[in-house]
Structure 1
Amino acid sequence: MNLWGHFCTINHHKWLVMKHCFRLGLYWRGLTHDLSKYSPSEFWPGVKYYQGNRSPNDAQRQAEGCSTAWLHHKGRNRHHLEYWIDYDPAGTGKLIGNKMPLQFVAEMFCDRVAASKVYKGKDYTDASPWEYYDRGRDHYVLHPETRKLLEYMLITLRDKGEDEAFRVLKKEVLGR
């Protein structure tokens, strides 16, 4: 159990996402990002399973068979692709990813960059968010347009750096 470590980690992550969202003109998204992490449903499992170098949700999932903190979190935070998964309205019975509004795709990008910075620390590079995404991308349930935009932003970050990625996202995608 590491209350202080978990508290500092989520605050550091939230600060980085807020800074990135502000850079894009997404002030409300930055201010309200991940507030549910301070709720008892998410905070206390985070304290119990804190490790400092990866999400405590993974450790809770391994120990208990599922992460109740993650189930709570993804249902309340629209910047997570899992928030947008629903049954196909065509009646196929399959789960599909619905198209995410641009502001939430932008926040998701900021979230992935910040999480990589927090967990990789001094080993972070602009390729880190792409590498993390790429390891799991085959199982992500995403709308094709959302996937294309997220991958474009992560590859722009990887290949052209943070300043260019944020410039493209702000000007060309969000039109700000």
Structure 2
Amino acid sequence: MIKAAAHFRTITKHKMLVMKECFQVGLYRQGLLHDLSKYTWTEFRVGCRFYQGSQSPNNAERKAKGCSLAWLHHKGRNKHHYEYWVDYGLDGTKRLIGMRMPVKYVVEMFLDRIAACKVYKGSAYRDSDPLDYFRKGGTDDYVMHEETKKLLTGLLRMLAEKGEGFTFRYIRENVLGKRKGIGGILGTVKAPRIHRRYIQV
């Protein structure tokens, strides 16, 4: 029961962080719907059983069972995960490749990574953490479309070097093309042009 309560608090804190971030860049619907499948019994029971507090319980289930059924369920229902977009290529080799993700889901994936780092690192969180975690996995090993990877990497680098406020404004005004600010958080000032070393799409 204690683990169930702790897991519920963790996933809800994460969801609320992503929702806040999505609202800041204008992705209202995605903010409201983000990660709702985590509250289904298929995913929630795994989270309760393998809850650790320092990392995803899916990792623990994967180690215990050889695969994570909760993760397989989750990635097939949430379009902000690049794994959702893995399919067979059209080159006749039956090779699995990453399909190009719609930009709005790349942005949600970016925000999801920020929130995950904030939840697990707490007060030790730094704007460079999401980029460090992404690189730690070995960027060449991701089954991700090259343009999707370039946009995600560019945003992560911008976050690490320019900070959250600057990056969120750039996303809203340049990546998603939304001009109107929310409650003065972003304002209506057009974000300055960014060097191509950040965003390459």
Cα distance in 2 for residues equivalent to 1:68 and 1:44: 11
Cα distance in 1 for residues equivalent to 2:44 and 2:92: 37
Deviation beyond 3 Å, 4+ runs, structure 1 = none
Amino acid at match of 2:160: R
Aligned equivalent of 1:173, options 172, 175, 183: 175
Cα distance in 1 for residues equivalent to 2:61 and 2:176: 36
Cα distance in 2 for residues equivalent to 1:25 and 1:113: 17
Indicate the residue corresponding to 2:158 in structure 1: 156
Q: 1:6 aligned to 2:32?
A: no
Cα distance in 2 for residues equivalent to 1:89 and 1:77: 24
Paired residue total: 176
* CA positional deviation for 1:119: 0.6
User: What's the secondary structure of 1:96's corresponding residue?
Assistant: strand
Indicate the residue corresponding to 1:51 in structure 2: 52
Indicate the residue corresponding to 2:184 in structure 1: none
Cα distance in 1 for residues equivalent to 2:45 and 2:152: 31
Cα distance in 2 for residues equivalent to 1:28 and 1:19: 12
Residue deviations 1:103-161 (CA, integer Å, cap 9, x gap): 10011011000000001111110001001111112211111110000000000000110
User: What's the secondary structure of 1:52's corresponding residue?
Assistant: coil
Indicate the residue corresponding to 2:31 in structure 1: 30
Indicate the residue corresponding to 1:101 in structure 2: 102
Cα distance in 2 for residues equivalent to 1:111 and 1:159: 19
Indicate the residue corresponding to 2:118 in structure 1: 117
Q: What is the CA RMSD across the aligned residues, in angstroms?
A: 0.8
Q: 1:39 aligned to 2:33?
A: no
**Normalized per residue, which structure has more helix?**
1
Q: Which has the larger radius of gyration?
A: 2
| Gaps in structure 1 of 5+ consecutive residues | none
Residue deviations 1:27-51 (CA, integer Å, cap 9, x gap): 0000000000000000000000000
Indicate the residue corresponding to 1:92 in structure 2: 93
User: What's the secondary structure of 1:93's corresponding residue?
Assistant: coil
Cα distance in 2 for residues equivalent to 1:170 and 1:143: 22
User: What's the secondary structure of 2:67's corresponding residue?
Assistant: coil
Amino acid at match of 1:100: M
Give the TM-score, by structure 1 length. Answer: 0.98
* CA positional deviation for 1:86: 0.5
| Gaps in structure 2 of 5+ consecutive residues | 179-201
Indicate the residue corresponding to 2:70 in structure 1: 69
Give the TM-score, by structure 2 length. Answer: 0.86
Aligned equivalent of 1:142, options 141, 144, 149: 144
